[in-house]
Structure 1
């Protein structure tokens, strides 16, 4: 199983998700959501080729879905890079490149 690395943008996405949920619900719910999101990210390491390629977003990028969120990742020879985590209702083409 390849190790998982999170890009700076993915780390920022995760923080934004936590803040959004914590403000609208509460921090405990945000913590639980992120724990489940991290499990979804770990599953990517088990089956990295399972996600469809989304070359229209970025060359060789793959996507996995967790709830309403799309996890974009790249499979490298020695690791998996989590590139972005975006809400499915957002414009993926525009927001991926922000």
Structure 2
């Protein structure tokens, strides 16, 4: 069963910012590959949403938040939640970020 996929606006903004950073500091081909890999990974999560690691750092009012790495770009993390038959992509961050800060940002935004 495929879950319905929702990519929140903030996650789309994150992807654009990260791709722009890669473009400026790397090259256009890598930035395009990054965006394509994110899309493939989102589709993979829609097929198998439970594969992501459940985040236990803080209790979120959003419920259970999971994380998964972007395929072939392991330094970039997708934060998402599963609700009924929907997978919501909440944010996408570089893995060097402090996860406690990331999760507190999620709670503030939603």
Q: TM-score, normalised by structure 2?
A: 0.80
Superposed CA RMSD in Å reads 1.6
2:4 paired with 1:3: yes
Partner of 1:70: 77
Q: Residues 9-88 of structure 1 correspond to what in structure 2 (within 5 A)?
A: 9-57=10-58, 58=60, 59-66=63-70, 67-88=74-95
> After TM superposition, what 4+ stretches of structure 1 lie above 3 angstroms from structure 2?
none
Q: Which stretches in structure 2 are left out of the alignment for 5+ residues? A: none
Secondary structure at the aligned position of 1:42 is classed as helix
Matched residues, number? 98
Give the Cα–Cα distance (whole angstroms) in 1 for the partners of residues 102 and 56 of structure 2. Answer: 15
Give the Cα–Cα distance (whole angstroms) in 1 for the partners of residues 54 and 85 of structure 2. Answer: 19
Q: TM-score, normalised by structure 1?
A: 0.88
Give the Cα–Cα distance (whole angstroms) in 1 for the partners of residues 66 and 37 of structure 2. Answer: 20
Give the Cα–Cα distance (whole angstroms) in 2 for the partners of residues 17 and 84 of structure 1. Answer: 12
